[in-house]
Amino acid sequence: MASPIISLRLAFLVILLAAAHARNTLQKESSQDPDLVTALPGQPPVKFRHYAGYIGIGDRQAKALFYWFFEAEHRPSEKPLVLWLNGGPGCSSVAYGAAQELGPFLVRSNGPNITLNPFAWNKVANLLFLEAPVGVGFSYTNRSSDLRKLGDRVTAEDSYSFLLSWFRRFPRFKSHDFYIAGESYAGHYVPQLAERIYEGNKAAKQISFINLKGFMIGNAVLNDATDQMGMVEYAWSHAIISDELHAIILKECGSFQQDGDRPAGPGCSPALRAFLQAYSDIDIYSIYTPVCLSSFDRSSRRKSRLVAAPLLFSQQDLWPGMSRVAAGYDPCTEDYVETYFNREDVQRALHANVTQLSYPYSSCSEVIEKWNDSPATVLPVLRRLLNAGLRIWVYSGDTDGRVPVTSTRYSINEMHLKAKQDERKGKKKEWGGWRAWYHKEQVAGWVVEYEEGLSLVTVRGAGHQVPVFAAARSLALFSHFLHGRTLPADRFAGA
């Protein structure tokens, strides 16, 4: 039997070895992960790690894309990795997705503290937010000419290059199941990036292979003609425009008819101006919530943001009239976010703005002035990726007037998919596969699943930024998507 002195010495030695291991681990993490965020102002205490910083890409790494990454709240080594993208084009995934919608830290006031999100998506996944392309948020380029070359193609290519480099910096996530999610104009970004990854994987060596499994997009820009038609139908069906204006738009603006190539008549332009004016005093992105009065005048003069295709109605002169008014339970959240990320102590903590940009941080870019390419439809991309076996969910908050549920339904219908039917005994007949889904015994929205692998989901009472308005339901939706589980079809099935 060992003496008490020897036992104490052994115990002390074990403690020393454990301390040394912990010290070495921390030093290793510090050297490998210089982007670890350790002192974010106002942050509540958490047990998960998060990182922020730049990844250089392109020729001589003249471009630098900013990211913010949150490990999953529990067992991150076992959870999938999800990249979140906001749209615009030109809007920040950090300012919207991370700080207002689904990240663990929400900016909810101009006060000193940020709020812990009880429905953060990092409860079920590792979350990566990317500001792309250059000129968005903290992302920048050393060549001003790059800002004049932006478009869908450049954004997809730069985001792909970012991912390859990011995985080299964080190799421990290389083998994780990888998904992409986003909203609005990310209806272009997400499938285009997914297609770039899919094509890259065909010729990729193991070191550059990305384990892409699928993607999910919300209130997504998909197909110009049907998106536009659905936008007008939504405004009319929700009593925002009159019968007369609705009839004039359908008659004079050829893009809203089946023969969409018919040129617009002389009455189209004034009718569309009246259409935009109908939304001038409400938030088109959430038609039933108040606007932020303190910033309403300033917002109404801003260039359009968080928007769909920049060629809306093919009337370039009308586009700036569709202004972005901050949305959410507190309609002034966007102002709080911009104030927070313009703080020098916040930027230092996030390893951001290291080059001292000549312009302030903004939720949507004020330096991107030209968008060079935006295909009229991404539906063929969706079709190709469905055929490749990727899981694709499209969801829609049904109080959004900008990319409304009518637009999404018209667009998905263009794909001529075959709806699944629930043949279980005792189940009521679902016309076209359309049924309610439930969360906490309440109807959370409606869903139709297609045999080809796509699911279309609505979220009842949610606006453009679904996680802002339906936080618990959006987390349930996200979790079911990741696990490939059918949304609850019974009131008492839970979520």
The reply to whether 416 belongs to the active site is no
pLDDT of 67 > 70? The answer is: yes
Lowest model confidence (mean pLDDT) among 342-356, 417-431, 434-448: 417-431
Query: 233-251, pLDDT tens digit by residue?
Result: 999 999 999 999 999 999 9
User: By the 8 A CB rule, do 462 and 399 touch?
Assistant: yes
pLDDT category, 296, cuts 50, 70, 90? Answer: low
Both tokens of residue 272?
A: 């569309």
Q: What is the pLDDT of residue 204?
A: 73
Q: Do residues 387 and 471 share a domain?
A: yes
More confident residue, 193 or 303: 193
- Full-prediction pTM beyond 0.85? yes
**What is the C-alpha to C-alpha distance for residues 467 and 119, in angstroms, rounded to an integer?**
9
Long-range interactions of 250-258: CB distance < 8 A, separation 24+ = 253/313, 255/224, 255/225, 255/228, 255/229, 255/313, 255/314, 256/228, 256/229, 256/232
* 153 in any annotated domain: no
- DSSP per-residue string spanning 311-342: TGGG-GGGGGGS-----SSSTTHHHHHHHHHT
Q: Do residues 476 and 407 share a domain?
A: yes
- Crossing angle of helices 268-278 and 224-237, rounded to 10°: 60
Q: Do residues 384 and 317 share a domain?
A: no
Q: What is the pLDDT of residue 424?
A: 57
* 249 in any annotated domain: yes
* 108 in any annotated domain: no
Q: Do residues 313 and 391 share a domain?
A: no
Per-residue b/e over 372-393, b at no fewer than 16 CB within 10 Å? eebbebbbebbbebbeeebbbb
* 464 in any annotated domain: yes
The reply to whether 358 belongs to the active site is no
Query: 152-184, pLDDT tens digit by residue?
Result: 999 999 999 999 999 999 999 999 999 999 999
Q: Do residues 316 and 238 share a domain?
A: yes
Mean pLDDT score of the chain: 86
Q: Give the number of domains in the chain.
A: 3
10 to each of 2, 5, 16, 424, how far by Cα in Å? 10, 9, 10, 64
Q: Do residues 318 and 398 share a domain?
A: no
3-state SS class at 485: coil
Spatial neighbors of 311 by CB under 8 A, at least 6 apart, are 224, 319, 374
* 177 in any annotated domain: no
Which one from 146, 283, 398, 400 is the annotated catalytic residue?
Answer: 400
pLDDT of 191 > 80? The answer is: yes
What are the residues facing 179 on neighbouring strands?
82, 214
More confident residue, 346 or 320: 346
pLDDT of 57 > 70? The answer is: yes
423 is in which domain, residue-wise? 379-483
Give the burial class of 175: count Cβ atoms within 10 A of its Cβ; 0-12 exposed, 13-18 middle, 19 or more buried. Answer: exposed
pLDDT of 390 > 50? The answer is: yes
* 427 in any annotated domain: yes
**What is the C-alpha to C-alpha distance for residues 235 and 273, in angstroms, rounded to an integer?**
14
**Mean predicted confidence (pLDDT) in 194-200:** 96
**Mean predicted confidence (pLDDT) in 389-395:** 98
User: By the 8 A CB rule, do 394 and 455 touch?
Assistant: yes
Lowest model confidence (mean pLDDT) among 41-55, 76-90, 135-149, 313-327: 313-327
User: By the 8 A CB rule, do 81 and 173 touch?
Assistant: yes
**What is the C-alpha to C-alpha distance for residues 341 and 116, in angstroms, rounded to an integer?**
17
Q: Do residues 383 and 479 share a domain?
A: yes
* 352 in any annotated domain: no
**What is the C-alpha to C-alpha distance for residues 295 and 284, in angstroms, rounded to an integer?**
16
Domain boundary among 297, 323, 349: 323
* 436 in any annotated domain: yes
Q: What is the pLDDT of residue 262?
A: 66
**What is the C-alpha to C-alpha distance for residues 452 and 289, in angstroms, rounded to an integer?**
36
**What is the C-alpha to C-alpha distance for residues 57 and 152, in angstroms, rounded to an integer?**
17
Which one from 188, 246, 351, 464 is the annotated catalytic residue?
Answer: 464
Query: 4-49, pLDDT tens digit by residue?
Result: 444 545 444 444 444 444 444 444 444 448 899 999 999 999 999 9
Q: Do residues 383 and 472 share a domain?
A: yes
Nearest Cα neighbor of 200 from 159, 258, 240, 259 is 159
The reply to whether 439 belongs to the active site is no
More confident residue, 208 or 180: 180
Which one from 92, 139, 159, 184 is the annotated catalytic residue?
Answer: 184
Q: What is the pLDDT of residue 61?
A: 84
339 to each of 16, 35, 114, 353, how far by Cα in Å? 46, 23, 12, 15
Q: What is the pLDDT of residue 320?
A: 37
State yes or no: cis peptide before 89, omega within 30 of 0. yes
Q: What is the pLDDT of residue 484?
A: 95
Torsion of CA 470, 306, 412, 388, to 10 degrees: -100
Q: Do residues 401 and 472 share a domain?
A: yes
Domain boundary among 308, 323, 338: 323
Q: Do residues 459 and 385 share a domain?
A: yes
> What number of other Cβ atoms are within 10 A of residue 273's Cβ?
14
Nearest Cα neighbor of 451 from 486, 404, 417, 487 is 417
pLDDT category, 294, cuts 50, 70, 90? Answer: low
Spell out the alpha helix ranges (H) of 204-331: 224-237, 243-252, 268-278, 296-301
Q: What percent of the chain has pLDDT over 70?
A: 82
pLDDT of 301 > 90? The answer is: no
Q: What is the pLDDT of residue 288?
A: 93
CATH value at residue 439: 3.40.50.11320
